[in-house]
Chain A
Amino acid sequence: MLELKNIRKYYNAGTVHEMCMFHDFSMKIEEGEFVSVVGSNGSGKTSLLNIICGSIPLDSGSIFINGEDITHMPEYRRQRRIGRVYQNPAMGTCPSMTILENMSLADNKGRPFNLRRGTDKKRIDFYREQLQSLGLGLEDKLYVKVGVLSGGQRQAMALLMSTMTEIEFLILDEHTAALDPKTAETIMELTGKVVREKKLTTVMVTHNLRYAVEYGNRLIMMHQGQAILDEAGEAKKAIRIQDILDKFNEISIECGN
């Protein structure tokens, strides 16, 4: 369970550019929930993910994972339980290392990076199998550097790598936004499969309203640092794309654009 309590976050505090992102924002994500987060640019979606992962500091408020206060835990320590896939496919892999080396790195997450051999030969078949499940033919390219792969292939690998070890939360930051429609579809299907199989608690930020409606069991719409729509269960199933669009229009009229 993930809990955000009374989060306050200002950007450029104390200057003329001061901007309030969150003012007393609270949210609770139950175990096993797959939350889709939508909202216009600057509504606080990515900030929300950065706050959960510890990439940006908080002004005040606290964050709990399963009741444990992680507000002051550094980003890299939190990542032990979190898998994150970024919008930019280059963020999830090492371009100058081979596919096999990247898989070995990901496989070793949570264990010591000591002086043992980097790639465990006994695990190669397992890596092949995992790569095969992507259906992209990467299992035959183990010794190819990841830098020569396409964005879609890299993103598929990033997804695989971030979910390879035992994690509790999967954070998806517009992870299909930089991909062509067909590849995006493939990655999204893979995501759904991984989340189902591993029963991961997932937070997915997306601009694709169809994905937000089709996937997940809870939908949140962010606006000016607040969740103006938050539906789960049956109510979430009833939401159609048109409903979200209407809500968007409503906001736009309020804001005068």
Chain B
Amino acid sequence: MSIIIGILEEGLIYAILALGVYITYKILDFPDLSVDGTFPLGAAVTAMLILKGVPPVLTLFLAFLAGALAGCVTGFIHVKLRVRDLLSGIIMMTALYSINLRIAGKANLPIFSKATIFDNALLDVVLFETLEPFGVVLVLLVITLICKLLLDLYLNTRSGYLLRAVGDNDVLVTSLAKDKGMVKLAGLAIANGFVALAGCVYCQQKGFFEISTGTGAIVIGLANVIIGTKLFKNLHLPGRASSENGRKRPRGMKATTAVILGSLVYRSCVALAISLGMAASDLKLVTSVLFLIILVMSNRKGKKVTVHA
């Protein structure tokens, strides 16, 4: 039971991260490595703010803003200074390492005794005795679902359409008399906002900020996104008719839902590997190897399809 709760907790936190990575990797087609810096940025900002007495709920928004700001800088480096996408991310990631240390003051900042979104007076009242062990999961579920719904809503606005268009065909964005660079910049800001928000939630759940939490965050995010979109995107839920000739609206699973499920599946795989006897220090190795396996498998699948087509 505790293993399942652990999977849900970690899976849901990384699902928020994955929503951000989904924006850059899938929508913008931008391999954004700054994620490795913005995830702990969210955590650092949160730890610092909570120790200063800022209400925990407010830290969610402030962490998002901090991430968005960092995303803007990555965007600025790429769009205005014309640095290659991968390099812009690396530059930002490296710079953020020091910035995070500055914000937190040291490499490890505990907030154990403080109230967090998971541990506060309001929750004690709302949650009954029986729900107590699921408290963290429930709070996470609410936050993750709100993030997902907001992102879904945004992607269906005019601004969201433009964001989807820029990764798909940026020539069209120019044809629509819009500056494609600014659209990319906005996309990077939103994406890194989500990533920092994930870092904020992570920090409050673990009860500390740790500088090394960011290492491999992008790998986890990419793994979640790729598993989710490969496994679930084309899954048609029973009872939801798919379109015949396009007259009806096709009802495949939303990519954002797929990404969240992908995150849970990936966490389960990692948990399985750990329970099979890997040490906790092997975590990053497990993360990478699993990601590699997924990449290779999804490549194979892709090849088969092209043979048939």
Interfacial residues, chain A to chain B (CB-CB below 8 A): 74-77, 79-80, 83-84, 86, 90-97, 99, 101, 104-106, 108-110, 112-119, 140-144, 162
Q: Is the CB of B245 within 8 A of A140?
A: yes
- For the complex, what is the distance from the CA of A80 to the CA of B177, rounded to whole Å? 5
Q: Is the CB of A109 within 8 A of B168?
A: no
Q: Is the CB of A115 within 8 A of B159?
A: yes
Q: How far is the CB of B78 from chain A (nearest CB, A)?
A: 17
Q: Is the CB of A109 within 8 A of B165?
A: no
Contacts of B179 in A (CB 8 A): 74, 76
- Given A86-B171, A140-B246, A109:B176 Cβ within 8 A: yes
Q: How far is the CB of A70 from chain B (nearest CB, A)?
A: 13
Closest residue of chain A to B176 (Cβ to Cβ) is A109
Q: Is the CB of A105 within 8 A of B176?
A: yes
Q: Is the CB of A106 within 8 A of B176?
A: yes
Q: Is the CB of A97 within 8 A of B165?
A: yes
The A interface, classified by DSSP as helix, strand, loop or mixed, is: loop
Q: How far is the CB of A221 from chain B (nearest CB, A)?
A: 28
List 18 other contacts, CB 8 Å, given A105-B165, A143-B250: A91-B171, A94-B164, A96-B164, A96-B168, A105-B161, A106-B176, A113-B161, A113-B162, A115-B154, A115-B158, A116-B158, A117-B158, A118-B158, A118-B160, A118-B161, A141-B245, A143-B249, A144-B246
Q: Is the CB of B177 within 8 A of A95?
A: no
Does B157 lie at the interface of the complex (its beta carbon under 8 Å from any beta carbon of A)?
yes
Contacts of B174 in A (CB 8 A): 75-76, 79
- Given A77-B177, A95-B168, A106-B176, A142:B246 Cβ within 8 A: yes
The contact string, 1 if C-beta is below 8 Å from chain A, for chain B 152-188, is 0010111111101100110111111111100000000
- For the complex, what is the distance from the CA of A115 to the CA of B154, rounded to whole Å? 7
Q: Is the CB of B171 within 8 A of A141?
A: no
Closest residue of chain B to A99 (Cβ to Cβ) is B246
Contacts of B158 in A (CB 8 A): 104, 108, 112-118
Residues of chain B at interface, number, CB under 8 A: 29
Q: Is the CB of B178 within 8 A of A113?
A: yes
Which 4 A-B pairs have CB atoms at the shortest separation, nearest pair first? A141-B246, A144-B246, A80-B177, A94-B168
Contacts of B82 in A (CB 8 A): none
Closest residue of chain B to A74 (Cβ to Cβ) is B179
Contacts of B247 in A (CB 8 A): 140, 142-143
Contacts of B156 in A (CB 8 A): 117-119
Cβ contacts A to B, 21 pairs, < 8 Å: A76-B180, A79-B175, A79-B176, A84-B175, A90-B169, A92-B175, A93-B169, A96-B168, A99-B246, A101-B161, A105-B176, A108-B161, A114-B157, A114-B159, A115-B159, A116-B157, A117-B156, A118-B158, A143-B247, A144-B243, A144-B246
- For the complex, what is the distance from the CA of A143 to the CA of B242, rounded to whole Å? 11
- For the complex, what is the distance from the CA of A94 to the CA of B248, rounded to whole Å? 20
- For the complex, what is the distance from the CA of A144 to the CA of B249, rounded to whole Å? 9
Q: Is the CB of B178 within 8 A of A92?
A: no
Q: Is the CB of B161 within 8 A of A79?
A: no
Closest residue of chain B to A118 (Cβ to Cβ) is B161
Q: Is the CB of A143 within 8 A of B248?
A: yes
Q: Which of A86, A91, A110 contacts B177 (CB 8 A)?
A: A110
- Given A113-B162, A115-B158, A140-B247, A76:B172 Cβ within 8 A: no
Contacts of A162 in B (CB 8 A): 175
Q: How far is the CB of A113 from chain B (nearest CB, A)?
A: 4
- For the complex, what is the distance from the CA of A113 to the CA of B187, rounded to whole Å? 14
Q: Is the CB of A76 within 8 A of B178?
A: yes
Q: Which of A86, A93, A104, A113 contacts B159 (CB 8 A)?
A: A113
- For the complex, what is the distance from the CA of A86 to the CA of B170, rounded to whole Å? 13
Contacts of B175 in A (CB 8 A): 79, 83-84, 92, 109, 162
Contacts of A76 in B (CB 8 A): 173-174, 177-180
Interface residues of B in 241-257 (CB under 8 A from A): 243, 245-250
Q: Is the CB of B157 within 8 A of A118?
A: yes
- For the complex, what is the distance from the CA of A38 to the CA of B172, rounded to whole Å? 26
Q: How far is the CB of B309 from chain A (nearest CB, A)?
A: 11
Contacts of B246 in A (CB 8 A): 99, 140-144
- Given A113-B158, A118-B157, A141-B245, A97:B176 Cβ within 8 A: no
